[in-house]
Amino acid sequence: MVSNKTIDAKILSRMFLAGAKNLEAKKEWINELNVFPVPDGDTGTNMTMTIMSAASEVSALDNPDMETLARAISSGSLRGARGNSGVILSQLLRGFTRSVRKSSSLDAPAIAAAMEKAVETAYKAVMKPKEGTILTVAREAAQKAEEIAGEADDLLSFFQTVFAHAEETLARTPEMLPVLKEAGVVDSGGQGLLEVLRGAIDGYLGKEVDYSGFEKTGGTSSVTKISAQAEADIKFGYCTEFIILLDREMPEEEEHRFKEFLTSIGDSIVLVADEEIVKVHVHTNHPGQAIERALTYGALSRMKIDNMREEHQEKLIKDAEKLAKEQAEQEAVRQEEMPEKEAGFIAVSAGQGLTDIFKELGVDYLIEGGQTMNPSTEDMLNAIEKVRAKTIYIFPNNKNIVLAANQARDLTEDKEIIVIPTRTVPQGITAMISYVPEKTPQENEEVMKEAIAKVKTGQITYAVRDTRIDDKEIHEGDIMGIGDQGILAVGRGREEVAKATVEAMMTDEAEVISIYYGADVPEEDAEKLAAAVEEKYPDCEVELSRGGQPIYYYIVSVE
């Protein structure tokens, strides 16, 4: 008979997977709770990709005890964390699992203590916590859990009471954050956490949850339907996934060698190892080679191979294989010959033009991402591994990526990582320009932070819904100029709104105005805008560059 006062690892696993599944089901709705009515609402997506990274690890466990379950949840969510909401969720999960990992079963007081540890861990990850966010909902839920744990007659009523209090707290978030009240929404991150809790209670009650989606998460999903042109661009034809049940623990050096081997035969590699298992994902033309190498480490489980270009000509496969092999050999030689530098640079960029600018400035590694897809902590760690330098500076270039960069820094032990908290691309460009080789890392960090503080940024995009924010009526389809602190201009014409945005950012001390035009803007339109700005502000230097960024017609900066 199952106890109604305690849960074991099996039940906790079921609750976690159900919570993840419920969040996944609600992600688009949560995305729509974005305060700003822009076409990049991503809280639901970020939280889902974070928790599904952990869920795929949990679903691969057979008969887990509390320690193996805790390790899978913590490791999977930390490495899969995307965006601020995802990083905070990963820290909540990390704190919770740290508290419970040595237990065989959990009663209400133990769960309450774990919730308190979760909140404590998450708050430490955020520099300036705000009231009315996911943190507030988590804290209030933990406080209610602690308050009632000692007198809880059964876990169901305990869970339901805690959930009800979290729901009430979420409903009050607009009173805590005026920007939520004005937009007429509750906090999207708090809503995401509530959906995890709601699903977890369903899991506790034993409601049926379809777990098949956990094997198709994040960047490790299997085949999706692709166009003929996309098929022609694929270099490696087989999506290969499996889990190695290790005969013995895999040392870090061997893990590195295994990764190098996989890199030599494919791409899109994900390798996550712990003491007992290794999860592998690789796109390759020779899945058999990957499997043969894996068998030297232990038995295989959950093997899965998909042909990503059925009916595609074999010639393309061979050509791609040859090209990939040549490139891999060249890259291996280049990496071997390249001495370790004193300083290296990683930047997040969205748009080929912006990527080219960063490369010209000397950035070593560009991570594709930004508003529509926030890079994960794992993406940051992979970039750090590829840059041969003693000190590496990371420019997130988006306020929603800073926490993931910080998390990657904290997980790196063999290099000094300095995260410059650039919240926009123009800040990242200014930070890179400000670097002085003769200065120490600490001096450069200070110089860069001072420089980016002087950069004002405006981003021109369109509204996806009607709302009212910053005392401005906004209708679906309107063009908006969004500044560092809020909406600067609203109108119907993108160039007119861009000019109004620049005007709102101008100061007497301004010397340089930079304009980066997006993928959907013709060059002649951008040139006309630059000419009009130059005419209005003759004392300023106006620089026009092709950014190629999606979503945002223009990114403009004043410094």
Per the model's pLDDT, the better-predicted residue between 335 and 457 turns out to be 457
Give the side-chain half-sphere CA count within 13 A for 376.
Answer: 27
CB 368 within 8 A of CB 383: no
pTM above 0.85, yes or no: no
Per the model's pLDDT, the better-predicted residue between 197 and 226 turns out to be 197
Reading the block at residue 524, the tokens are 């002649």
Please tell me the distance from the alpha carbon of residue 230 to that of residue 343, in angstroms, as a whole number. Answer: 37
**292 Cβ neighbours under 8 A, 6+ residues apart:** none
Look at residue 331 in the predicted model and tell me its pLDDT: 56
Q: What are phi and psi of 472, to 5 degrees?
A: -120, 130
Look at residue 105 in the predicted model and tell me its pLDDT: 93
Residues 170-195: what's their mean pLDDT? 88
CB 267 within 8 A of CB 238: no
Which range of 114-123, 204-213, 270-279, 473-482 scores highest in mean pLDDT? It is 114-123
- The band of 183, judged by pLDDT with boundaries at 50, 70 and 90, is confident
- The band of 226, judged by pLDDT with boundaries at 50, 70 and 90, is very low
Look at residue 112 in the predicted model and tell me its pLDDT: 96
Q: Comparing 150-154, 204-208, 214-218, which segment has the lowest mean pLDDT?
A: 214-218
Reading the block at residue 202, the tokens are 């369903």
Residues 297-312: what's their mean pLDDT? 72
Which tens digits make up the pLDDT trace of 518-533?
Answer: 988 999 999 999 999 9
Q: Is residue 64's pLDDT more than 70?
A: yes
Please tell me the distance from the alpha carbon of residue 81 to that of residue 90, in angstroms, as a whole number. Answer: 6
Q: Comparing 221-230, 238-247, 456-465, which segment has the lowest mean pLDDT?
A: 221-230
Which tens digits make up the pLDDT trace of 10-52?
Answer: 999 999 999 999 999 888 888 887 766 665 557 888 899 899 9
Residues 159-166: what's their mean pLDDT? 95
Mean pLDDT score across all residues of the chain: 85
- The band of 224, judged by pLDDT with boundaries at 50, 70 and 90, is very low
User: Do β-strands 479-482 and 487-491 pair in parallel, antiparallel, or remain unpaired?
Assistant: antiparallel
- Closest to 396 measured CA to CA, from 372, 425, 432: 425
Look at residue 264 in the predicted model and tell me its pLDDT: 87
Please tell me the distance from the alpha carbon of residue 481 to that of residue 505, in angstroms, as a whole number. Answer: 11
- Closest to 43 measured CA to CA, from 60, 63, 29: 29
Which range of 112-121, 214-223, 251-260 scores highest in mean pLDDT? It is 112-121
Residues 392-410: what's their mean pLDDT? 93
Reading the block at residue 163, the tokens are 């959930």
Look at residue 1 in the predicted model and tell me its pLDDT: 38
Residues 444-453: what's their mean pLDDT? 95
Look at residue 216 in the predicted model and tell me its pLDDT: 36
- Closest to 461 measured CA to CA, from 397, 550, 529, 557: 550
Look at residue 335 in the predicted model and tell me its pLDDT: 55
Residues 251-256: what's their mean pLDDT? 83
Q: Is residue 386's pLDDT more than 80?
A: yes
Look at residue 465 in the predicted model and tell me its pLDDT: 80
Q: Comparing 224-238, 386-400, 514-528, which segment has the lowest mean pLDDT?
A: 224-238
- The band of 144, judged by pLDDT with boundaries at 50, 70 and 90, is very high
Residue type, 116: E
- The band of 389, judged by pLDDT with boundaries at 50, 70 and 90, is very high
Q: Is residue 233's pLDDT more than 80?
A: no
Task: Give me the percent of the chain exceeding a pLDDT of 90.
Answer: 52
Residues 214-231: what's their mean pLDDT? 36
Q: Is residue 107's pLDDT more than 90?
A: yes
Q: Is residue 313's pLDDT more than 60?
A: no
Which tens digits make up the pLDDT trace of 320-377?
Answer: 566 666 665 665 555 555 678 899 999 999 888 999 999 999 999 999 876 557 888 9
- The band of 551, judged by pLDDT with boundaries at 50, 70 and 90, is confident
CB 50 within 8 A of CB 88: no
Give just the sign of the alpha carbon dihedral 332, 338, 342, 343: negative
- The band of 225, judged by pLDDT with boundaries at 50, 70 and 90, is very low
Q: Comparing 299-313, 361-375, 392-406, 437-451, which segment has the lowest mean pLDDT?
A: 299-313
- The band of 284, judged by pLDDT with boundaries at 50, 70 and 90, is confident
Look at residue 39 in the predicted model and tell me its pLDDT: 56
Which tens digits make up the pLDDT trace of 494-505?
Answer: 999 999 999 999
Work out the number of other CB atoms within 10 angstroms of the CB of residue 539. 7
Q: Is residue 314's pLDDT more than 70?
A: no
Which tens digits make up the pLDDT trace of 78-106?
Answer: 888 888 888 899 999 999 999 999 999 99
CB 109 within 8 A of CB 162: no
Three-state SS for 23-85 is: HHHHHHHHHCCCCCCCCCCCHHHHHHHHHHHHHHHHHCCCCCCHHHHHHHHHHHHHHHCEHHH
